[in-house]
Chain A
Amino acid sequence: MHRFRRSAKFVSIFLIIFLSVIYMPVHSVFAAMVGTEAVLLDEEMQSTREKVRAFLDREDVRTHLTAQGIDPLEAKARVDSLSDAEIQHIADRIEQLPAGSGVLEVIVIVAVVFFLVLLILDMIGVTDVFTFINPPPKR
């Protein structure tokens, strides 16, 4: 028990340091450097209120991604690769955004449903598609 507590202490100290390093916002040496974003987007994003909003939106999107089953570190990496304008663009409507997946499954599902319907109709005796359902009487 004692050993467990000691190792648990080590683990928790390690975790505290590790997580605070991960989540510590990366600041450049000088805080008052003007980012490219502010120049590119001119006036729109320059007010402090807009900056705060962008930060909160970023957190929202990250939380949402984590809730969607994405690893927290991966969610952070995904959000960090987007600009403030892009984050604001998706923040309020991430639920409605399309997620491309392809039609592979749909084709399979339709084929299976079609097969089952014919199978049942065969069994009832309405159709006679599959020879193995109502085999011709042997002589």
Chain B
Amino acid sequence: MCLHSLTPLRNDSMTICRIYLYVRGILFLIGFFVSLLAGCAEFRHVKMPPLPENVPPSHELAAVPFFPQEAYQCGPAALAMALSSSGLPVKPEDLVEEVYTPSRKGSLQMAMIGACRRHGRLAYEITALDSIFPEIAAGHPVIILQNLGLSWYPLWHYAVVIGYDAAEGTVILRSGVTARKLMPFGVFEKTWARSNYWGLLVLQPTQLPAMAKEESYLAAVLGLEKARQFQASISGYTTAITRWPQSLPARMGLGNSYYAIGDLKGSERAFREAINLHPNAGAGYNNLAHVLLEQGRYSEALEAARKAVSLGGPLKATYEETFREIKSHMSQNAHEK
């Protein structure tokens, strides 16, 4: 009796359970596809974030030349477009040697930066979404690194952003073999975000980025000095001084660059300006001492070195070495006389 009454009850509950599972499964599938479609729609029709007030709603740098890429060679192609646009006519094939890494079948970001510098151009990195459109509006095309694949199956690609249209919600690129690629903003944002919004401005050293930050700009000019492009680094530091007149590193860099090409007068002027603006800059006195020493002005040099040593700081050992060096030169000189 008990058993008899229990069995249908169990069957009932199992049927209900099964129906519930079916419904849930179907609902889940419907939900999955709807969200998939919605997701697609979301990526393709994402609105552009509002542009700053002084930036026009649409702009295109139509004059940027186009070089279609060869297999694996989007790096040299993108760089050639940006360099040519900065007034330096080069072909992608001229850049392969400097940029491409055969075993990786691609171009590393650092090689792109280095190649810019070796051609006397300022390589200014950007790392934020909101800095790209003001730069385009200011006439600077931007090389970007996109992952056109997935995070676990990356397809890294360099393209050059040359324009945008906020009303249409599109970004205009020179990409791969396409001279004028219109990319919906949402897709652009998604693919670019995977490189943490890495972008590169290729500028003449007399140009400033639209949204220039002092530290980034000076790091970019320092790169020119590292690549031994001293004429370019002199222009770069001079440009930096017009924008940030108080900058100590810019004046030190200017002095060091003049020193590197043997322009002792220019170097002396820069270091003197540095110590006038920053009387506690031991490095300025130290380097001034060297420039004076090289001109044979020993007593002035010794005075500057003494000042550097008295200021001290983490570079005190270097200043003491300078002081000793000048002393030994003086005694040598006295001996010869």
Interface size counted on chain A using CB atoms at 8 A: 41
> Residue A102 contacts which of B69, B114, B117, B321 (CB distance < 8 angstroms)?
B69
| Cβ-based interface call for A29 (8 A) | yes
Interface size range on B against A: 35 or more
Complex formed: what's the CA distance from A133 to B194 in Å? 44
Query: In the complex the two chains form, is B225's CB within 8 Å of A74's CB?
Result: no
B249 vs chain A, min Cβ distance (A): 4
Residues of chain B lying within 8 A (CB to CB) of residue A86: 110, 113, 223
Chain B residue nearest to A34 in the complex (CB):
B283
**Which stretch in B9-17, B101-109, B205-213 binds the other chain?**
B101-109
Interface set, chain A 78-112, CB cutoff 8 A to B: 78, 80-83, 85-86, 90, 94, 97-106
Residues of chain A lying within 8 A (CB to CB) of residue B260: 28
Residues of chain B lying within 8 A (CB to CB) of residue A103: 148-149, 155, 157, 176
> Residue A32 contacts which of B147, B218, B294, B325 (CB distance < 8 angstroms)?
B325
Chain A residue nearest to B112 in the complex (CB):
A100
| Cβ-based interface call for B85 (8 A) | no
Complex formed: what's the CA distance from A94 to B109 in Å? 11
> Residue A47 contacts which of B156, B314, B319 (CB distance < 8 angstroms)?
B314
Query: In the complex the two chains form, is A70's CB within 8 Å of B253's CB?
Result: no
Q: Interface residues, chain B, CB within 8 Å of chain A?
A: 69, 71-75, 78, 97-98, 101-111, 113-115, 117-118, 145, 147-149, 154-158, 176-177, 195, 215, 218-219, 222-223, 225-228, 248-249, 252-253, 256, 259-260, 281, 283, 286-287, 290, 293-294, 314-315, 318-319, 321-322, 325
